[in-house]
Amino acid sequence: MDQSIVFDLDLINRYNTSGPRYTSYPTALELHEGFDDSDYRKHITQSNAAGGPLSLYFHIPFCDTVCYYCACNKIITKNRKHAEPYLDNLCREITMQGELFDRRRIVNQLHWGGGTPTFLSAEQMRRLMRTTRQHFNLRDDDQGEYSIEVDPRETDDRTIAELRQLGFNRISLGVQDFEPAVQKAVNRLQSKKQTFAVLEAARKEGFRSTNIDLIYGLPLQTVDSFANTLDQVLEQLPERFSVFNYAHLPSRFKTQRQINEAELPSPQTKLDILQMVGQKLTEAGYVYIGMDHFARPDDELAVAQREGKLYRNFQGYSTHSDCDLVGLGITSIGRVGDAYIQNVKDLERYGALIDQGRLPVFKGVELDDDDKLRRAVITQLICHFELSFVTIERQFPIDFKHYFAGELNGLKGMEADGLLTIGADRIQVLAPGRLLIRNICMVFDKYLARKQQQFSKVI
């Protein structure tokens, strides 16, 4: 499989509209409050009947300091005691959900995100993992994909050793940018020494994969300054890079109002940074997985993509397409059976529902047959940059060309622009179209027209 990209500035400028990131289809915007605890329980029952492995996601919302660019659901506090009542309720939720899932279903994937999961003390982390093992069937052979997001400012070699002992074997480090002026502008002061010490400790302890998060489009960034950050990280040869486009949406995310908009790089500078990133990473031997992600050719994501086994869920790209995803903690989103489910967003309501013996469901959506069909189409495109009509027709009782006649016609302009080819039996995304894969997927999204203004730019 060709995993290269081509940066065509003219195409990018013409197609740089707003659109979903497709960590799900339908997107999270389609979840509604008419879906409740009883609906979730029904889908768990159906999921158990189907069987198969599980994936668990835990949301740890606490952070010591606020990063102005952050759009995550978080609670800013320096008081570590604030985590204790949340942990009590989270462990109670684990017990409640664990009782509903077939105990024989093995957990192939587990992820702690946030917030800052390492805000928790060593004893609190041990308690959380111990409770999880009591109620879910975690692997003990180190063959699962057990990952955690860490803030190097909140992590040292003892923490890394503790995480490895708990069973984590993959780690993602937030860096964003090493330029001091940029760090000050976004209130995230973090040294290279701190960052690389954590990376070195993770490798020493036997973590199998390391990911570095960077963000372009932050205030005061230039092509040269971001290239300097990228060069320094490249010297450490992490297995994966996630290079995100900063979406400035201060009307939705209050902390972003503390960013000086006059200091944000121009759209042209952002494009220049993106082009530089793509060139540097491909020259260094990394392959473009898609949607901001690069990986070394021998990394599991790159291998899964070449083998046609890559998947995408609420945590991003994954090698486990067969797992139902169970979300735990406030705001977490899961996918169980034919439904997406999101937990309530505030601590008080979360605790109150658990006190009542109810699952803390805020909203959800049950997928209909058309949703599942379009999800399969979008997943194939966004993960593999191609779509076989026959593969879809084997999964669903349709004639692809007839069912999607309007969509295929809508893709003709993209075909003329060299983003893709439409053959007798497949759609093939070409190298210039890979950076614009979201645009291609959007053609198959029946919900998009009335929701497009709520999404960030695709580039």
Q: Looking at the domain assignment, is residue 120 inside a domain?
A: yes
Q: Is the pLDDT of residue 191 over 60?
A: yes
Examine residue 381 and state whether it is found in any structural domain, yes or no: yes
Same domain, 180 and 312: yes
Q: Is residue 54 part of a domain?
A: yes
pLDDT digits (tens, 9 = 90+) for 115-169: 999 999 999 999 999 999 999 999 999 999 999 999 999 899 999 999 999 999 9
Which of 326, 357, 382 is a domain's end point? 326
Residues 131 and 278 occupy one common structural domain: yes
**For residue 4, pLDDT beyond 80:** no
What is the model's pTM?
Answer: 0.93
Average pLDDT, the chain: 93
Residue 311: domain span = 23-326
- Would you say residue 458 has pLDDT above 80? no
| Same domain? 381 vs 285 | no
Same domain, 273 and 418: no
**Domain tally, the chain:** 2
**How large is the average pLDDT for residues 387-399?**
97
Q: Are residues 180 and 41 in the same domain?
A: yes
Whether the pLDDT of residue 353 is over 70: the answer is yes
Same domain assignment for residues 117 and 215: yes
pLDDT mean over 340-357: 96
Q: Is 155 part of a structural domain of the chain?
A: yes
| Same domain? 396 vs 300 | no
Here the CATH number for the domain that contains residue 7 is: 1.10.10.920
pLDDT at residue 253 is higher than 70: yes
User: Does the residue 356 lie in any domain?
Assistant: no
In a domain, 148, yes or no: yes
Q: In degrees rounded to 5, what are phi and psi of residue 32?
A: -140, 160
In this structure, are 319 and 379 located in the same domain? no
The answer on 28 and 13 residing in a single domain is no
Between residues 450 and 187, the one the model is more confident about = 187
Is 453's pLDDT higher than 60?
no
Q: Are residues 87 and 13 in the same domain?
A: no
pLDDT at 457 over 80: no
* 338 in a structural domain: no
Same domain, 33 and 2: no
What does the alpha-carbon distance between residue 68 and residue 122 come to, in Å, rounded to a whole number?
A: 27
CATH code, domain carrying 187 = 3.80.30.20
Instruction: Judge if 252 and 312 occupy the same domain.
Output: yes
**Residue pLDDT, tens place only, 48-74:** 999 999 999 999 999 999 999 998 889
State which of 302, 326, 350 marks the end of a domain. 326
Could you say which of 326, 357, 377 is where a domain stops?
326
Is residue 195 a part of any domain in this protein? Answer: yes
